[in-house]
Structure 1
Amino acid sequence: MDPFATLHQPIGVFDAGIGSYAAVRLLQERFPNQDLIYLADRASFPYGGKNRQALLEVTAQAVQRLQGLGASAILMASNAPSVTVLEDLRRTASVPLFGVVPPVAEALALSKSGQIGVLGVRSMVQSPELGAYIAAASRGRGQAFSFNASALVDLVESGAFLTDPARTTAQVDVFVRAILATQPEIDVFTLSSTHLPWLDAYFQRLFPGKAFVDPVRASIEALECLTTTGTGRVVCAVTENPTHTASAFRSMLAAMRIDLQPVVLGGLQ
């Protein structure tokens, strides 16, 4: 039996790997009867290493896949494409499409110094769209500096944050200290890749005087008007390539004690 056919008006959630499961988990907590499709687009990992056109192409394919699987709405749980290509995707999507964006206004409201750091992948922090977004969100109430945290995203996607805590601790420590050496007044960081909240325990332990803001929660609330009563089931789908295999993804789910059996998706029809 097709596992997707048994779902009732599911909401699709996707990014290029394990990061978007954090959004799935929050949706389950907030809307326990909502059916979900969780797509890990491993074949296109990493989103953060792609230019704008390539990012638009692979995320459009992911949206098309989820629509084909019956998604009634879609959350693109990835900051980079949400900042850079979301509006383009909305023009062609046949269902409501939501994104996850850096919580700049929230971070500035928390900051005592008026200086915050936006941590994200390379394609986002180097994009002109992020600069425009920050300017609109901050409204002159402070300063937001952006930093390429792709190396930390790789720690999560590789599973090293689970299997090698010593390496993870050292890498997180060096990364944040390098930022503070040049911008010591930053007291709030936005974790603007859905992978980064998996490192929250490391951030909190190493830098207890700083605040780290997860961008996903506000996006979850935006979906409330579209939620329905189903069985609360989650069906996981995964794409793969020779480097990022479905088998490796299954191993990561097992290591994280996530009880899902991903369905491997082939090429688009």
Structure 2
Amino acid sequence: MKQPIGVIDSGVGGLTVVHELMRQLPKEPLIYLGDTARCPYGPRTEEEVKQFTWEMVRFLLGKNIKMLVIACNTATAFTIKDLQKELDIPVIGVIKPGARAAIKSTENNYIGVIGTEGTVRSGAYSYALRKIKSDIEVISLACPSFVPMVEKGVLDGPEAKQVVENALAPILEHDKMDTLILGCTHYPLLKDTIQEVVGKKIIVISSSEETARETSTTLDIHQIANHDDHMPPHQFYATGDLDIFIEITEKIFKDSNFEVLTIKHADLQNI
């Protein structure tokens, strides 16, 4: 099927998932929508997150998508069950893939999770991890300073390192932790800095690769994969300022063919 896969996120973080989707599924056209105007979702109420997520979903449904990837941990935690129930297309999130990757990685069953306030408050990762392996020890920490920093384009350097060191200090007191889940798709943009701060003994897990693999499997199960080599350009939309969005997109896709992307502004109020 030549229809595109829709990908949504609260801002630019979901581009890390898109990058992996493009790598693993090169024949699949993608439409990405980042709600940069209302980011971050972490401090917002569950009702707000649900409202904003449904607005993004309706926008993409208008683009005739064949599948939806919720590339936002907070939105996944609060909306995936409703979306899977209400939509007649496959819907996957990033929490279960991230949990599976962490279970494969840990050697001593001590897993840390960092995310937004909303994701940590929901307990979604603890639930997903313990559903797979009941004896897992989970240490969770909200890092509300990360998303605004990433949305400003501060991805490395002294400022980023200082913010990361301050934020992660409480979780690093747990010396048994051997695996750390980046429970927000913005956080992989800080992965090198996070790895530097936590040290080489801790394996840092991003759900992007596992999410792309689950997307591939889902396409095959539903027999909706695209087998045509001639596909339209990927479409990227943002609800907020395009200049910063384009700047961050260029950084993420610096090793890719940037010509295969079109970037536009999206107005969710006039769907």
TM-score by length of 2: 0.85
**Does residue 253 of structure 2 align to residue 253 of structure 1?**
no
1:268: which partner in 2?
A: 270
SS of 2:37's equivalent in the other structure is helix
1:21-36 to 2 correspondences below 5 Å? 21-36=15-30
- Partners in 1 of 2:125 and 2:54 — Cα distance? 20
Shift of 1:94: 3.6
Structure 2 counterpart of 1:203, from 179, 194, 199: 194
SS of 2:107's equivalent in the other structure is coil
- Partners in 2 of 1:109 and 1:253 — Cα distance? 30
Indicate conservation of the 8 Å contact 2:101/2:207, yes or no: no
Name which of structure 1's ranges 147-156 and 192-201 shifts more when overlaid on structure 2. 147-156
Spell out, residue by residue over 1:80-128, the C-alpha distance to the aligned partner (whole angstroms, 9 max, x if none). Answer: 2212220112222242211110533432442233211011110010125
Aligned length: 255
Indicate conservation of the 8 Å contact 1:75/1:97, yes or no: yes
SS of 2:32's equivalent in the other structure is strand
Alpha-carbon spacing, 1:254–1:94, altered in 2? closer, same or farther (3 Å): same
- List gaps (5 residues or longer) in structure 1: 1-6
Alpha-carbon spacing, 1:68–1:203, altered in 2? closer, same or farther (3 Å): same
Q: Kindly, what percent of the aligned residue pairs are identical?
A: 22
Structure 2 counterpart of 1:117, from 103, 112, 122: 112
Structure 1 counterpart of 2:169, from 177, 193, 206: 177
Name which of structure 1's ranges 82-91 and 114-123 shifts more when overlaid on structure 2. 82-91
Shift of 1:22: 1.0
Indicate conservation of the 8 Å contact 2:11/2:39, yes or no: yes
TM-score by length of 1: 0.86
- Partners in 1 of 2:170 and 2:184 — Cα distance? 19
**Does residue 196 of structure 2 align to residue 194 of structure 1?**
no
**Does residue 48 of structure 2 align to residue 57 of structure 1?**
no
**Does residue 209 of structure 2 align to residue 213 of structure 1?**
no
- Partners in 1 of 2:124 and 2:111 — Cα distance? 18
Structure 2 counterpart of 1:227, from 225, 236, 243: 225
Shift of 1:205: 2.8
Indicate conservation of the 8 Å contact 2:20/2:209, yes or no: yes
1:3: which partner in 2?
A: none
Shift of 1:150: 2.3
Spell out, residue by residue over 1:207-238, the C-alpha distance to the aligned partner (whole angstroms, 9 max, x if none). Answer: 11211011122221122224313426311112
Structure 2 counterpart of 1:16, from 10, 17, 35: 10
- List gaps (5 residues or longer) in structure 2: none
1:161: which partner in 2?
A: 155
Spell out, residue by residue over 1:181-200, the C-alpha distance to the aligned partner (whole angstroms, 9 max, x if none). Answer: 2x121111001111111111
Spell out, residue by residue over 1:129-183, the C-alpha distance to the aligned partner (whole angstroms, 9 max, x if none). Answer: 454334323312x201111022122221221115xx11111222233333212x1
Indicate conservation of the 8 Å contact 2:99/2:125, yes or no: no
TM-align CA RMSD: 2.2
Structure 1 counterpart of 2:69, from 66, 69, 75: 75
Structure 1 counterpart of 2:85, from 80, 83, 91: 91
- Partners in 2 of 1:106 and 1:25 — Cα distance? 18
